[in-house]
Structure 1
């Protein structure tokens, strides 16, 4: 496959992956833009020429002041060549920014003139006897990098012609041969013998050097073609990846461990709006930096997830989730962190709807118990009112009204407990005593007719169980677990609810003596829409898992067929911190 070539006025130029290897890291790297390439690549060659000029001047000064390998007459020619080289490079240095034709044809001019100046330097310093006669190869390599194959091969032929002019010009006497005394010469009957004036030596040297140019050209162009192909594939994959990132609606940023600098890989996108602004907004950057500091403190090489929300006049409440993880080992000094952010507002809305549907389903389970519990006090109230209709004595009426207050209070407690289950939850994160949630759960559970067939016992801790979270959500989890336990004991049994604690967390256990669960059921119990009941929706346990996970807790299951099941809900103790928010 041939290399990709740029088109337009500078059609002989090509853009290659070589730029990414040698271009200064603090400069803009030319790549897909031909104009940028024409501007920066010739300037890079100008910097290389400055290096060459410094080396040549240093060698010339060393020879003139100390070595004296080259006589005074050829040294004058060398200083002249250096002057031309210096003047031309100054012209290139300032001309590339102002002269349009130089931007287009500057590479041709540089390499063409450099080869002539190189030939002149070799002529004044021993010709083909000079060990630096192989220096033509550097210009061939440069040509193979920046030009198309045909143009680069033209540079090979051009170099060969100049080398032939030098070799055979001195051999024929058209060019004077200057001796460089750094290399030994032996006496001949006609005087000092110069190898450059020997036909065999000159022919072999020319042939070997030209062969070196051809081989160098072939090797470099082949390597560059392969590098360009690899670069094209990488660029294609990068474009695909960028497209995927943009279309998935996921915000992606990289954070430097050393200074917590944040670089957005898809900046100014609407996906950053949940954090209160686009990717240039200082608010979310500061918040993301604080999360990164927390990860650095913990030094965990794992994905850490956070949820937050923001409120704006235009979009209302928006929820987002952020995943942070190290790219590599956390203890590396130059380690990077990747941050992924996506809008989960719609998911939150759907979860809320599913949660509400699950609550309504639970109400269906206890509806008969509700009717019974409300019906009894209503019947008592009705009977008492019938008696009071015939009463004439005021004291008798007053004494008859007192029991009515108790029955009305009983109905009020039932209605309040049911409304806690039925209403959509908009609770906020706050510290509370976990025992309160369990007690409220038992108040509703007692309305279930199935619970009346079971021996329900509760063993709380003697002291407060302070946790942080949304109390109504945990009520829903506990009620779901309790109702499932009752359903697993259709003929009655025992449900034991007991609490435990360790240094970091509190545990609430629901232990029943029901039918138990198989290993397959245990593995799938938290899957959405998985149920073992004919009338179940399969949402309750999935929602329970999501709620406990959001509270940074866990649910563990221990079950045996025909012996019963124990669900253990473990929640972290309240340490005074709340969910991160912006």
Structure 2
């Protein structure tokens, strides 16, 4: 009995396809897919947009109602010949309005901010009812009566409902995936929605068959003049929906792009901006970044920020920075960077991590502002505060110590005259040397306490350097240090106070020798470069750590175990009085180079 029923159903289905018009079915398939895609497109906008929600809901519902109505109407029209003349227009409009209304109620369930499975089942159920009502009312519009196969009808409803639910589950699955995985979801979901409508129609043809026999109507389109116009009308409705949704998306993208461009322009005018990926590779820099770093854009892209690392900050500093931003938190601080030409610049930095759905950073935006001038001003004020303190101390030292020191020296020299024992004479020499050392410190204090009069005279710097090296030659030999002097010219003239300049050169030369306790080489070079007289004093000693370089010349800062830091401070002050500059380049265990730059004089 079951076999007879199955054979009958198969035979009827074959008869349906044989007697139907393939052109109308193909048109129905295409229009259904287009309308379904438009509907899902508008539904996406509905969930993501804050404006025009009512318009988007109506548009999406209308497109889905058209998709359901289109295939049912043309599917029936493709094989119902006799019903064309008796078609009831008002009932046809009713079926379309009812389909749109049910789709609208279903879509309203999907407008909540946080979707649940119940919302999707609700929507799928209403779309299934819309499909069923469209089919039944469409048959009544053709004045056709139907038979009901209850079991098959229940199966049709359940299968259609399940397919709709699967389609929307897949469609909203994109909420849990990154953007690059969303491209295929909309067309796939559209295909499944279209499949639900199409299979629902064909199963309803079997579950609710008409009581008339199906005949071949290949001539139907030729004999019925209104059909092409009806197809054209539905096609225009769907294309209009597509154009409208496309226009909305384009306008939103244009507005969004304009906002992004405006924000980027404003940010570029005020800040140094860089974007890096999750691995720290630079993927974007703005014009201000290239200006301050002196690197070209192509030199920076694909590199990490170590390319501008100055070595000023410790490893712990950068480890704390990375721990902060990798944890999804914003980092703020001040960083000293190095430009391509080796110059240093300070930036106030804010690094903002961009997080994916899992809360993991996928890129970082670094916004910097140049604070080099502010840091230099702070450093100058800090140094002036120290100089003021030293000056006040120096005034007290000069008054309280210098007079007793003079008396001590006088009496020591007087007692030395009457002493005949060599051992005791040696003690007096030590006493006088120490008194002289204290007196030298007092004189250095005096230099800092008040401005010293500098008497500038035209001098050959080559001779001055040679005189200084002669003074340290004996000390250098005792410590196995070889002194090398080079000069591109025998005569290089500067306006200087010879004694003060010798004091500076002697201080740097002695410091270089003391930096090589196991011996080494001291290289001294004098030259003229670009309107400047350059004196390089380079040792091969222990070097100076990078974090201490910027503190050289500060009061009481020294890199030696026994020292007060006043020698360097006085040297800096003397060179500044000559309108010159001192630069230091050093690497640990490689040695240090002190560079004195003075204005040149053309003779």
TM-score by length of 1: 0.35
The structure carrying a bigger helix percent of its residues is 2
Structure whose alpha-carbon radius of gyration is higher? 2
